[in-house]
Chains A and B, each alone.
Chain A
Amino acid sequence: GIQVEQSPPDLILQEGANSTLRCNFSDSVNNLQWFHQNPWGQLINLFYIPSGTKQNGRLSATTVATERYSLLYISSSQTTDSGVYFCAVVNRGGTSYGKLTFGQGTILTVHP
């Protein structure tokens, strides 16, 4: 099946810093989503971005489908940004149609 690798696995920032999280995937995708899992376990949808660039406030994401990677940018980080960030993809074709495959996540800690 498709492999999803996220980097870095851990990231520690001071409040106000910027960061870039990366997601590499091993095959063509027709869905890519970024999530933030808060300390209570809720996954919050950040972006649906199988290709192109999107921005939402301090967050933006870019997916270069032809090169099989996606980037999540967090600017002016806040303590509330802490948590785990997951990238998840749906493999184009094959038997995994519709199923999200998750990366291992990036654990972000923002200190005041």
Chain B
Amino acid sequence: GAVVSQHPSWVICKSGTSVKIECRSLDFQATTMFWYRQFPKQSLMLMATSNEGSKATYEQGVEKDKFLINHASLTLSTLTVTSAHPEDSSFYICSARRPGASGVNSYEQYFGPGTRLTVT
């Protein structure tokens, strides 16, 4: 199957510091990865689309200077939360799009296990 990993699974940091979250597709190459944020008892909210070798595209209302995304290879995308504040505390989930997983023209997305960020 298609496996996506995230590291770390949870992190606690002090206000004002930066945190990097890694997302890896372990058994397939992903030219496109996505970053989501999920608040308790809510649905997933797309933050940005990460394309290998190019700049990420951010959804409206997401600060690109605060949430830095780098997609340096076909298997790795990173999200860096800069100058974190308590309101950035959340569950961050990445996904990777795998072409052809369910047919020639399919683009099924597979999700990592998530990273729980707590900013104190």
Contacts and interface: CB of A to CB of B under 8 A. Distances in A.
Secondary structure at the B interface, as helix, strand, loop or mixed, is: strand
A31 B106 contact: yes
- Among A43, A48, A86, A88: residue with most chain B CB under 10 A: A43
Contact of B108 (A42, A48, A102, A105): A48
Contacts of A102: 43-44
Interface string B103-115: 0001111110110
29 contacts: A31-B107, A31-B108, A33-B108, A33-B109, A41-B38, A41-B91, A41-B93, A41-B113, A41-B116, A42-B113, A42-B114, A43-B95, A45-B108, A45-B110, A48-B101, A48-B102, A86-B44, A88-B44, A88-B109, A90-B107, A98-B32, A99-B34, A100-B34, A100-B46, A100-B95, A100-B109, A103-B43, A104-B43, A105-B43
Interface of A: 31, 33, 35, 40-43, 45, 48, 86, 88, 90, 98-105
Interface of B: 32, 34, 38, 42-44, 46, 49, 91, 93, 95, 97, 101-102, 106-111, 113-114, 116
